[in-house]
Each structure stands twice: as structure tokens, then as C-alpha cells.
Amino acid sequence: MARRRWIADEVSGTRAFLVAAHARHLSQVLRARIGQEFDITADNKVRRAHITAITPDRVEFELGDEIPTPAAVQVTLAISIFKFDRMEWAIEKCTELGATRIVPVIARRTGVHLATAAGKRLDRWRRIALQASEQSRRISPPKISPPMEVKDAAALAGSTRILLSESESEVMLKDILQSHPRDGDVVLTFGPEGGWTDEELKLFHEAGWISASLGRTILRAETAAIAGLAVALSELQA
């Protein structure tokens, strides 16, 4: 059975630490013991480690040998903000799949109350990503950026930038990715419930984005993000 993996909150030399709620979960809920072994991510490297000290708010590890890990495919998701319960589910699943970065986007059709409250959700989204990263044995969680406007999302950098759009019927996402260089980074952007406005589509196209489709059916926002990432990783890791 694979050892459980934790992402260290603090690192000092050959020592790594979980603190606060992170430590309480391990020490009190999982009843960790001194000497127990885990895999620990520290400074973006996975190391074997064992517990050397436990308090309710701090668990200390002695780091051992590095465990080789494959290089990750770089995929950023710019996701227009939608209902928070479904947004959280999408963040969790896209983290498990391997998204490198998730950028919440305030689109024209994003609900006003969602746009107003999105900034207050950032810490929660990051906690969800951290928990999902440890569960799925990632080296590090995806970066969850502060919410940004569409004009700023259109300026995101990437060697291949793809706009997923319901209005695109000819070009499939997989077809674009098959010609993408394996060492480059991909940015995928997904519209809100109701889709992109004509003005937003024009903004992305003028910035050099390529439109693509995920198929004939109309997907819910969270389904589109998960499906788009799965297609991208399947093509890029082939």
C-alpha cells in the first residue's frame, strides 16, 4: 500500500513541518505516532520521511531520500466563475487530474453576487486544492490565482492558448493539442453558464486565442472544465 503523502507547510534543512489545522488533522484525527513514515513534499521534491515530534498544532518530520517523480504537464485553466458549490467541485477534480494553475474569471454573464463574493472564497479554494493534491499524491497543489476580469484573462501567457466555445463547431480541442509541442504550456479558458458574449469572444480572438470545441453536446461549466483538462492531459502525455 502506498504511503500517504503530505505537502509541508514549513521546511528547514532536513526537517519539514505541518502546522495548524493541517497538523491537527494528522495528529488528532488520524492519530499519528512518532516514527510513523510518510511521503513529504518539501521544496517541490518528494522525500521519504518519519515523524520525530507531535504537538496538537505542529508535526515535525525528518526528511530522508528523495523519491523520483515524472515531470508534470503544464496546463492552466481559466474558469469563468459559476455557482460556488459546483465551482469547488470542479477545483477539486481538476486538481486531482493535474491542473497546474486555476484562474477564476469574472465574465460578463457571471452572476453579480458571485463576482462580488469570489475574492472571499480564495482561501477556501486553496484549501480544497491542497487537500485534493495530498489525496491524489501530487507534488504540489495548483496555484489558485485571485479572480480576474476577462481582459486580464485574455492576456494570460502560454505557448498554446485555447478558448473553449459553444459557437465553435469545426475545430476539436484534441486536434489542436496533437500539434502542440510537448514541452510547452497550455492555457484553456472556459465560459460561464450561458456562454461567452460576442464581445468576449472578439477580445480573446484579437489576443491570439484559438477557438475549440469539446463536442456536439452543451456541457455544464464544471463538466466542461473537467472534460477539457482530461482531453488535454490525454493528448499531452501520450
Q: Are residues 188 and 143 in the same domain?
A: yes
pLDDT of residue 73: 86
Q: Are residues 107 and 192 in the same domain?
A: yes
Cα 108 to Cα 63, 168, 200, distances in angstroms: 48, 19, 8
Cα 236 to Cα 8, 61, 70, 161, 213, distances in angstroms: 29, 35, 14, 14, 17
Q: Are residues 129 and 54 in the same domain?
A: no
pLDDT of residue 154: 97
Residue 102, beta-bridge partner list: 77, 144
Residue 79, beta-bridge partner list: 104, 190
Q: Are residues 129 and 89 in the same domain?
A: yes
Residue 85's contacts (CB-CB under 8 Å, 6 or more residues apart) are: none
Give the model confidence (pLDDT) of 156-166 as tens digits. 999 899 999 88
Task: Tell me the pLDDT band of 178, cut-offs 50, 70 and 90.
Answer: confident
Position 88 pLDDT exceeds 80: yes
Mean pLDDT of 189-198: 92
Position 184 pLDDT exceeds 80: no
Distance linking the first and last C-alpha atoms of the chain: 27
CATH number of the domain where residue 40 is located: 2.40.240.20
CATH number of the domain where residue 187 is located: 3.40.1280.10
Q: Are residues 103 and 157 in the same domain?
A: yes
For residue 72, with 0-12 CB atoms within 10 Å meaning exposed, 13-18 middle and 19 or more buried, which class applies? Answer: middle
For β-strands 101-106 and 143-144, DSSP reports them as parallel
Q: Are residues 37 and 146 in the same domain?
A: no
pLDDT of residue 1: 54
Residue 49's contacts (CB-CB under 8 Å, 6 or more residues apart) are: 16, 37, 38, 39, 40, 61, 62, 63, 64
**Boundary residue ending a domain (67, 96, 118):** 67
Domain that holds residue 38: 5-67
**Boundary residue ending a domain (25, 41, 67):** 67
Gap between the Cα atoms of 64 and 112, Å rounded = 50
**Boundary residue ending a domain (32, 47, 67):** 67
Q: Are residues 122 and 219 in the same domain?
A: yes
Gap between the Cα atoms of 52 and 234, Å rounded = 40
Gap between the Cα atoms of 96 and 23, Å rounded = 22
DSSP assignment of 176-226: HHTTS-TTS-EEEEE--TT---HHHHHHHHHTT-EEEB--SSPPPHHHHHH
Q: Are residues 125 and 57 in the same domain?
A: no
Q: Are residues 109 and 212 in the same domain?
A: yes
Identify the residue whose cell numbers are 526528511: 63
Q: Longest Cα pair distance anywhere in the chain, in angstroms?
A: 60
Task: Tell me the pLDDT band of 238, cut-offs 50, 70 and 90.
Answer: low
Q: Are residues 105 and 187 in the same domain?
A: yes
pLDDT of residue 223: 95
Q: Are residues 113 and 56 in the same domain?
A: no
Q: Looking at per-residue confidence, does 1 or 232 come out higher? A: 232
pLDDT of residue 179: 78
Q: Are residues 42 and 150 in the same domain?
A: no
Structural domains of the chain, count: 2
